[in-house]
Amino acid sequence: MPITDYLERNAKEFPFDISLVEINPEAEANARHTWKEFELIEPNPHEAGRKEITWKEFDISANRFANLLLTRGVKKGDKIAILMMNCIEWLPVYFGILKTGALAVPLNFRYTADEIKYCLKKADCSGLVFGPEFVGRMESICDLIPKVRTMLYVGEDCPTFADSYDQCVQYCSEKKPAITITDNDDGAIYFSSGTTGFPKAILHKHLSLTHAARCEQNHHKQTRNDVFLCIPPLYHTGAKMHWFGSLFSGSKAVILKGTKPEYILKAASDERCTIVWLLVPWAQDILDSIDSGQVNLKEYQLDQWRLMHIGAQPVPPSLVKRWNGVFPHHEYDTNYGLSESIGPGCVHLGLENVHKVGAIGKAGYGWKTRIVDPEKNDVKPGTVGELAVSGPGVMTCYYNDPEATEEVLQEGWLFTGDMAKMDEDDFIYLVDRKKDVIISGGENIYPVQIEDFLRKHEDIKDVAVIGFPDPRLGEIAAAIIELKEGRDLYEEAIEVYCMDLPRYKRPRVIIFADIPRNPTGKIEKPLLRKRYNAENIVSTEV
């Protein structure tokens, strides 16, 4: 059953139920400012900065867009890219592409013009849908992408090199296109996050998309009464595949444009959200705002909020302990996945396993896992090896890249590049990225272990550990530390704190600076390695 069938089912069974809500706190704030300045009628908070559509409207919008694409010559197997910030049009555009039998190709909104051009060519895209934030970037390359024949613009003030989405779709039929789609048809191309190099094009069938929906609903038990708060970017598999649980259960989802703690808590309160997926920095910011008194929980109605879950990166156990202290009634889950395994869910902790916080969990619904040595032999419990996963959500291939595919996809197993170990209860603990392991004096140092240790310090907000070249040891560990607001620390204090670590794990270089993360919350370690020149930094002898 292809993923588009779930949308059509919801439109038939729950036509007038709300499917999607978009909340833009900045737009609401601007409306209130205008009201006060010009003494206009005070805006309704449920109108200013808020949009909503029903399941029927969602399906009709997708059908209209699909029929628009068909009139432009789009056919089954074509690739249509999406370059938009999160908005209420995003998912209808995505499903409209799928309904034509074409492949949806979401693009990272942080891509430069050159990266956009690269991805459009890499995925053989013949069409692009983009938003107002990208006019400048697209204008600079529109003459360099001749294969992109269809360019549609979502927003006001349409540029001359594109056609207006709003003006075009209103004249299109709202009927479902007469195109047969099966689970074995290609459905989407996603690009890797690029934390280990230039992004790769990841090809998935409709089977992968459908399994992601089943997996998410199985893990988090969504019903029609649940309301999912979606904050991360929809171009990434993580946010969309978590939303697929709402699609599967026919329940409402809220797209929030903003990550400030007060925005998140207000949206959860106003919309009666029951499930919220956070990235580590956002959860930390919420807790810090509560601790500092900047946020008063008594101003919000959060009794309905039943589940907070985190994914996209290793989660410090100390963070979950803090969260449970503030929100003791919350269930908690950690989700692990890759774009190559259709996002989150191939491994998850499980709502009933909060006592195992620190682990990423066990194989998810419909998935299998292994931990192997360099010769691809299974290792014993407690031994570090590479995590491999197998299941219905494994990618078909890296599109147009057979060599890269062969490296990671062997006999149905996806070798993730993540180093992990399994305990006696079969719970998997992520140790680090294979390429991030630091080899110092012949010893393997796993940065995540040092990062987890340092994050327990009450003055530290975030930390990244990377390897610096060293003429004697090969590599040494360097800790980039981001302090909480208003806190002061010196290298000597970190050195004393790290005395509880084995000597070979203690950072030899300490740098106080902000930690860059990509939109999915992963630390951008290649950027940090490029930013800091090891030759100009004196190591700290500890």
450 in the same domain as 391: no
Domain that holds residue 449: 438-536
Domain-located, residue 285:
no
Alpha-carbon distance of 540 to 464, in angstroms, equals: 17
Residue 62 maps to which CATH number? 3.40.50.12780
Domain-located, residue 498:
yes
Domain-located, residue 265:
no
Q: How many domains does the chain have?
A: 3
Residue 369 maps to which CATH number? 2.30.38.10
Specify the pLDDT at position 10. 98
Kindly tell me the sign of the dihedral angle through the C-alpha atoms of 108, 397, 94, 333.
negative
Domain-located, residue 44:
yes
Burial class of residue 115 in the structure, from the number of CB atoms within 10 Å of its CB (0-12 exposed, 13-18 middle, 19+ buried): middle
507 in the same domain as 417: no
Specify the pLDDT at position 540. 39
Specify the pLDDT at position 534. 44
Domain-located, residue 299:
no
Domain boundary residue, one of 258, 282, 315: 258
188 in the same domain as 127: yes
459 in the same domain as 428: no
Domain-located, residue 82:
yes
Q: Spell out where 274-358 has E strands.
A: 275-278, 307-311, 331-338, 343-348
172 in the same domain as 61: yes
Burial per residue of 94-110, b for 16 or more beta-carbon CB atoms within 10 angstroms, e otherwise:
bbbbbbbbbbbbbbbbe
pTM of the model: 0.83
168 in the same domain as 28: yes
Domain boundary residue, one of 243, 258, 273: 258
232 in the same domain as 110: yes
Specify the pLDDT at position 31. 47
Residue 486 maps to which CATH number? 3.30.300.30
Domain-located, residue 62:
yes
507 in the same domain as 414: no
- pLDDT (tens digit per residue) in 140-177: 999 999 999 999 999 999 999 999 999 999 999 999 99
185 in the same domain as 52: yes
Domain-located, residue 292:
no
Specify the pLDDT at position 238. 82
Specify the pLDDT at position 358. 85
209 in the same domain as 342: no
> For residue 346, which amino acid is it?
C
Bridge partners (DSSP) listed for residue 332: 308
pLDDT under 50: residue ranges of the chain: 31-43, 45-46, 195-196, 534-542
383 in the same domain as 311: yes
Alpha-carbon distance of 52 to 123, in angstroms, equals: 32
Domain boundary residue, one of 433, 449, 473: 433
Report the run of H or E that residue 203 belongs to, with start and end: strand 201-205
Q: What is the DSSP string of 170-184?
A: TTS--SPP-----TT
123 in the same domain as 49: yes
